[in-house]
Structure 1
């Protein structure tokens, strides 16, 4: 496992920036170990909901964690986040696309170069679920 701390800037899309950082490290499997920061716009899909709830304004990321994979030209994240609004209300759920950084976001990625993550339909859950495969790594490959 290799660690990769990243700092996101105002206007960055949280999910896209995390996936781009992982691709930039030439890695196809990673976990978001921790994340904090602020957002101007966020979406969370609550358990059992079909659509995310959108939030705008001054939003704090209290916690961010999840798995990220790179499968061909597509990244795929399964991220969960707890956030607080300017009034102090706290919400948590699945991170939806278009969570935009307000001032900064600080994220720690655990890169797993010896592994491949992908998503495939699961008959038990009915969702695309994580599939984990060990990679055959050649000397010098998968190093930061």
Structure 2
């Protein structure tokens, strides 16, 4: 496992930046170990809901974790607003960094992740394969 710390800057889209970073690093498998920071917009899909819910406020990221494959990510996040209310769910595109986001990526060079339709769930799920050394 290789640790890769990352800092996002104001205006960046959190999910797009993570997915692009993993591709630019040439990684085939990564996990977001943790993330903290602030957002001005959060797009969170709540459990059992098809569309994300947009939150526009000064938001603090309390937790951020998930897996990142070259063909997409599966991320969950909890955020709090200025009144201390906490919201959490699946991270969609459009989560915009307000001041900073600090993330620790764990790159897994011995593995290859992909997102494929799982016949049992009917959803795009994580498939994990061993990656031969040197390839």
Structure 2-normalised TM-score? 0.96
Task: Report deviation, 1:24.
Answer: 2.3
Q: Distance in 2 between matches of 1:14 and 1:29?
A: 18
Runs of 4+ in 1 over 4 A off after TM superposition: none
Pair 1:46-2:46 in alignment? yes
1:17 counterpart residue number: 17
1:93 counterpart residue number: 89
Q: Distance in 2 between matches of 1:97 and 1:24?
A: 19
2:102 counterpart residue number: 106
Pair 1:118-2:125 in alignment? no
Structure 1 residues without counterparts, runs of 5 or longer: none
Q: Which 10-residue stretch deviates more, 102-111 or 18-27?
A: 18-27
Secondary structure, counterpart of 2:23 in structure 1 = helix
Instruction: Tell me how many residue pairs correspond in the alignment.
Output: 135
Structure 1-normalised TM-score? 0.90
1:4 counterpart residue number: 4
After superposition, the CA RMSD in angstroms is 1.0
